[in-house]
Amino acid sequence: MGGKTIEFNDKFSTTRNVVKDSSFLSGERNGRNEGGLRTRGYGKRSELKKPLISVITVVHDGERDLERAILSVTNQTYDNVEYIIIDGGSTDGTLDIIKKYDDVVDYWLSEPDKGVYDAMNKGIKHFHGDYVLFLGCDDSLFDVFHEAANLFDGSTTSYYGDVILSKNKKSYDGRFFPLKLFIKNIPHQAIFYSKHVFDEYRFDCKYITVADYALNLKIFSNKRYGLEYIPKTMANYNNEYGLSSTLVDHEFSKDKPSIIREYYATTFYWIYMILRFLFKRK
């Protein structure tokens, strides 16, 4: 892989701020079905007033939508963007699309996984950014990285905005507060997680559809982390045929009260339990 010469195209956000350094090769496991700029010693670094933003897309048999997601990342006007794709061993044309962008994507890996959140955890092992956003293969970003980056303060705080729901074309869902978060989740397509979050946490794979919801509950009111609202629409979010829109995560439903009790004030916990009881009675 190391001998290929690349002519970088300024058209793409992921190839405007590239440096070559053999250190980018460290940690990548050559010999697996992988590729991208990093496997040839190219990468990016954070700069003063220009944090490195990583995007991770996980995909399995996503040839219908993947290219649109890729282009929504590479078409950002912000020029310090790292892109990672984790493929679950697709058998359709997904891998052909990924390889088409081999000189644009920083790192890609294709191998079987144990589900969406297992794949997202694999992506966490490979990102180098100050902030990371998880973009579904059937979602797409608006050109907002340049505006968002101006608000990042380099602390452990993560940031979130809004999404447009594909099902009804409505905006979702403004500023959150604890009781609102107890009822509905903040989509990961709208969240720039601080890299520091993943010094402590991973997505809990026992939750098959909403492990990101469990994570958000844990960091939202955490004094060390926290989530701060940016009044910008970040992405088009496909809520029509994804796992979280079609399956109920019973394991999460069982654990949710204990998560709230552990991470929030007792008053919030009891208000949630009362509301949960009243809702069930209806």
Return the pLDDT at 30.
60
- Lowest model confidence (mean pLDDT) among 34-48, 231-245, 251-265: 231-245
- Section 154-178 average pLDDT: 95
Give the span between the Cα atoms of 53 and 40, in whole angstroms. Answer: 20
Quick check: 244 pLDDT over 60?
A: no
What's the pTM?
0.94
Ramachandran bin of 115, using left for φ above 0, alpha for ψ from -120 to 50, beta for the remaining angles:
left
Return the pLDDT at 88.
97
CATH code at 13-245: 3.90.550.10
Q: Percentage of the chain with pLDDT > 70?
A: 93
Confidence band (pLDDT; 50, 70, 90) for 37?
A: very high
Q: Where are the domains of the chain?
A: 13-245
Average pLDDT of the chain, as a whole number: 92
CA dist 140 → 67, 89, 180 (Å): 10, 22, 25
- Section 216-243 average pLDDT: 91
Query: 96-149 pLDDT, tens per residue?
Result: 999 999 999 999 999 999 999 999 999 999 999 999 999 999 999 999 999 999
Quick check: 86 pLDDT over 90?
A: yes
